[in-house]
């Protein structure tokens, strides 16, 4: 096996609109075969960066290499190795799923068989249906099918599941899992932390046109540190009666919350204490901070959530 190469290398990327640096010195490397989730609030520069990598937009400074070539000057051979799902685009509504894929297959030198792609994106039951009559989630899967038809080495997905219902998102995730098994590199732009958590090998969080954090979901979660233990204060027990833990518990109403960097020890103490008194701790939970918490902390503290 050859050593794992880099599918995307970005160094010091800058893109200016007027006097505003939308992308401001962005560095990022995406390895071959990995799924990278690219997170950030609206306006953080996600789509601009993605479209520079896809060759749609020019840049003002920096070095960009996608599949070994500069997107700004890359030709059709390079394009044939990419699969692109845009944030907004509609296939021809009058064509059926199969007709649409057949047309796109004609654009590529070595396309996958149309029916194989239909199976990959789970649209076998809709193959003869017109694209205009598909549900939102099905349309998006057709979009992904279009991106897969040319056997791409690298797939860009720009907010592919925005507006999906939970079922549709799960089905979509299965499609991405399938892609990874095919060895395809995936560059996934998304607003949804759970999506990044489920799909991504690594997560890059964008803030003010720079990568503010980069790592596996677990690494990013570890950056936020403490684990949270919660339970309800048992009847007849005062806050002061609780055993000494590594951090002082935070008691509000009947709910107890402890943020700890030593969850195993604290849990042992707490459970031993409760067991000794024959108390069942109601609603006992142990939680690591979610990726969402981490994201909110890193991506900046605008009032409105990104999604």
Partner 1 sequence: MRMLVEQVRADLIAFARRPETLFFTVFLPVIFLVLFEAIFGDIEVSAGSDYALTQSTLQVPAFMAMGIVSACFVSLAITMVNRRETGLFKRVRGTPAPAWLLIAGQGVTSLLIGTTMVVVMLLVGRIAYGVEVSVDRLPWLVLSVLIGAAVFSCLGIALASITPSSEAGPPLANLLVLPLYFVSGVFVPVASLPDWLSSAASVFPIAPFVKMITWPYDPAAPDIPWRSVLLLVGWGVLGLIVAARFFRWLPRRG
Q: Which of 2, 3, 73, 109 binds partner 1 (CB under 8 A)?
A: 109
Distance CA 205, CA 243 (A): 39
β-bridge mates for residue 253, sequence order: none
Residue closer to partner 1 by CB (options 82, 206) is: 82
Query: Closest by alpha carbon to 130, among 98, 89, 159?
Result: 98
| 275 vs 137: CA distance, rounded Å | 49
Instruction: State the nearest-atom distance from the C-beta of 85 to partner 1, in Å.
Output: 9
Residues in contact with partner 1, counted by CB under 8 A, come to a total of 29
Is 192 an interacting residue with respect to partner 1 (CB under 8 A)? no
In the block, tokens 């003010």 appear at 208
CA 214 to chain centre: 12
Going by C-alpha positions, the residue among 104, 97, 186 that lies closest to residue 141 is 97
77 versus 194: smaller Cβ distance to partner 1: 77
User: Does residue 260 sit in helix, strand or coil?
Assistant: strand
Residues 124-183 interacting with partner 1 (rule: CB under 8 A): 130, 146, 150
CB closer to partner 1, 89 vs 216: 89
Identify which of residues 100 and 138 has a Cβ nearer to partner 1 in the complex. 100
φ, ψ (nearest 5 deg) of residue 191:
-100, -15
| Closer residue to partner 1, CB minimum distance, 99 or 259 | 99
Q: How many CB atoms lie within 10 A of CB 241?
A: 11
Which run of H or E residues covers position 232?
Answer: strand 227-232
Q: Is 107 in the site for partner 1 (CB under 8 A)?
A: yes
Closest approach of partner 1 to the CB of residue 304, in Å? 20
| Residue of 45, 48, 52, 55 interacting with partner 1 (CB under 8 A) | 55
The reply to whether 108 sits near partner 1 by the rule CB under 8 A is yes
**Sheet (strand 210-215) strand order:** 82-85, 154-158, 185-190, 35-40, 202-207, 210-215
Q: Is 230 in the site for partner 1 (CB under 8 A)?
A: no
Query: Within positions 56 to 95, which residues make up the interface with partner 1, using CB under 8 A?
Result: 56, 76-77, 79-80, 82, 84, 86, 88-92, 94-95
* Helix, strand, coil percentages for the chain (3-state, nearest 5): 35, 25, 40
Is residue 104 at the binding interface for partner 1, with CB under 8 A as the rule?
yes
Is 17 a residue that touches partner 1 (CB under 8 A)? no
* CB of 24 closer than 8 Å to CB of 40: no
Q: How far is the CB of 284 from partner 1 (least distance, A)?
A: 49
Is the distance from CB of 4 to CB of 32 less than 8 angstroms? yes
- Helices H / strands E in the chain, number of each: 10, 13
* Residue closer to partner 1, measured from CB, 103 or 198: 103
- Contact range with partner 1 by CB under 8 A, out of 99-107, 118-126, 161-169, 205-213: 99-107
State which of residues 16, 98, 102, 257 lies at the interface with partner 1 (CB under 8 A): 102
Among 11, 21, 99, 232, binds partner 1 (CB under 8 A): 99
Residues in touch with partner 1 (CB under 8 A) = 54-56, 76-77, 79-80, 82, 84, 86, 88-92, 94-95, 99-100, 102-104, 106-109, 130, 146, 150
């Amino acid at each position: 096996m050859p050593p794992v190469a880099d599918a995307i290398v970005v160094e010091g990327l800058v893109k200016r609109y007027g006097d505003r640096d939308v992308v401001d010195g962005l560095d990022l490397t995406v390895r071959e075969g990995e799924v990278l989730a690219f997170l950030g609030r609206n306006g953080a520069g996600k789509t601009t960066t993605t479209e520079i990598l896809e060759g749609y937009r020019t840049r003002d400074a920096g070095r960009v290499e996608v599949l070994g070539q500069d997107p700004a000057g890359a030709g059709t051979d390079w394009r044939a190795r990419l699969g692109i799902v845009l944030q907004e685009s509609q296939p021809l509504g009058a064509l059926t799923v199969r007709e649409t894929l057949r047309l796109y297959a004609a654009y590529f030198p070595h396309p996958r068989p149309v029916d194989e792609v239909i199976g990959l994106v789970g649209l076998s039951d809709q193959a003869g249906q017109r694209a205009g009559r598909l549900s939102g989630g099905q349309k998006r899967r057709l979009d992904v099918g279009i991106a897969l038809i040319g056997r791409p080495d690298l797939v860009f997905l720009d907010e592919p599941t925005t507006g999906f219902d939970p079922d549709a998102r799960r089905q979509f995730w299965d499609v991405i899992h399938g892609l990874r098994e095919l060895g395809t590199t995936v560059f996934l732009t998304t607003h949804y932390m759970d999506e990044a958590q489920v799909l991504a090998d690594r997560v890059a969080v964008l803030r003010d046109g720079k990568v503010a954090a980069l790592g596996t979901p677990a690494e990013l979660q570890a950056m936020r540190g403490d684990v949270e233990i919660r339970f309800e204060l048992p009847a007849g027990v005062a806050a002061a009666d609780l055993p000494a833990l590594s951090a002082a518990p935070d008691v509000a109403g009947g709910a107890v919350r402890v943020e700890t960097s030593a969850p195993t020890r604290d849990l042992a103490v707490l459970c031993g204490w409760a067991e000794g008194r024959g108390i069942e701790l109601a609603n006992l939970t142990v939680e690591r901070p979610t990726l969402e918490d981490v994201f909110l902390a890193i991506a900046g503290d605008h009032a409105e959530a990104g999604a």
